[in-house]
Amino acid sequence: MEYATRLNAYAPAPTAAEVDAEVARIRAIAGRNHNAEVYKFCYSAIDLTTLSCNDSVQSVTEFARKAAEFNLQYPHIPNVASICIYPSFVETVGLAVDGTPLRITSVGGGFPAAQTFLEVKALEVAMAVENGADEVDIVLNVGRMLTGEWDEAANEVEAIRAELDSDVVLKVIIESGALRTPELIRRASLLSMLAGADFVKTSTGKIDVAATPEAAVVMCRAIRDYYEATGRRVGFKAAGGVRTAEDAALYYTIVEETLGREWLTTDLFRIGASSAANNILSSIEGREVKYY
């Protein structure tokens, strides 16, 4: 399908100066969300992540069981939204969290570089879902984005979306730190949504520049404009570099200010995190917590 021409229906991206001004405005008011209620919600929006070369069936099983048993120790805090792992561990997590509401998120499509054959990407995603993944996080082809191959990048997303049933959540990582400019970040977000993404996500966490408030503002504005044009709500996920409760509250405030409180549900807002889980728990409890 042709996607590049459909971008003409949308306004251009804000300038870098406009983005900086908006981030400064939101930082100035984000303190209102430095409270236990917001931190509890942010914790419940976490895709609890382990994506390490050291992952094993044993380590992932222990990790998932900790998440599954969380509410035995902290019944007053809503549990994380999902556990995010490499596709080969989907079945492992499924066994560990069976009987709980926890969802299973698998990265896929040649994560994190997405530099493999489209057929391999589609097959990997299909296998992850067959093994029990409820959600799949793939990476938009950054190389194609940087060379202006808009249609080719979006058609890869469309082909992968076609492998999934409608109830499987597809999150598309635009790797905003590699795209850098507001215009490319906006284009990548809109192309992903036009091609069928249920979420747009900032980063893989595998390059030097991960989630930034500036990228989040551009992405959330794109989500808002897409919703106004189509009536379809797409979620936002911040991942990579979200380490503290204050970091999480800043992204919460960006979503609140740009998209409105109707986006502040775990169906439309997620945080990809590992170390942030303990830090947010510590802020909620008012003492150091090392649960994970």
Residues catalogued as catalytic? 137, 201, 237
User: Degrees (nearest 5) of the Cα angle 270, 276, 282?
Assistant: 120
- Classify residue 260 by burial, with Cβ atoms within 10 Å: 0-12, 13-18, 19+: exposed
The answer to whether the beta carbons of residues 286 and 77 sit under 8 Å apart is no
| Beta strand ranges found along the chain (DSSP E) | 46-49, 82-85, 103-107, 135-139, 169-173, 199-201, 235-239, 269-273
> Could you give the CA distance from residue 92 to residue 94 in angstroms, rounded to a whole number?
5
> Could you give the CA distance from residue 86 to residue 112 in angstroms, rounded to a whole number?
10
Q: Give me the numbers of helices (H) and strands (E) for the chain, helices first please.
A: 13, 8
The answer to whether the beta carbons of residues 172 and 157 sit under 8 Å apart is yes
- HSE, side-chain direction, 13 A CA sphere, residue 89: 27
- Classify residue 248 by burial, with Cβ atoms within 10 Å: 0-12, 13-18, 19+: buried
Q: Which amino acid is at 286?
A: G
> Could you give the CA distance from residue 133 to residue 229 in angstroms, rounded to a whole number?
31
> Could you give the CA distance from residue 19 to residue 203 in angstroms, rounded to a whole number?
18
User: If you ran DSSP here, which 8-state letter would residue 103 be given?
Assistant: E
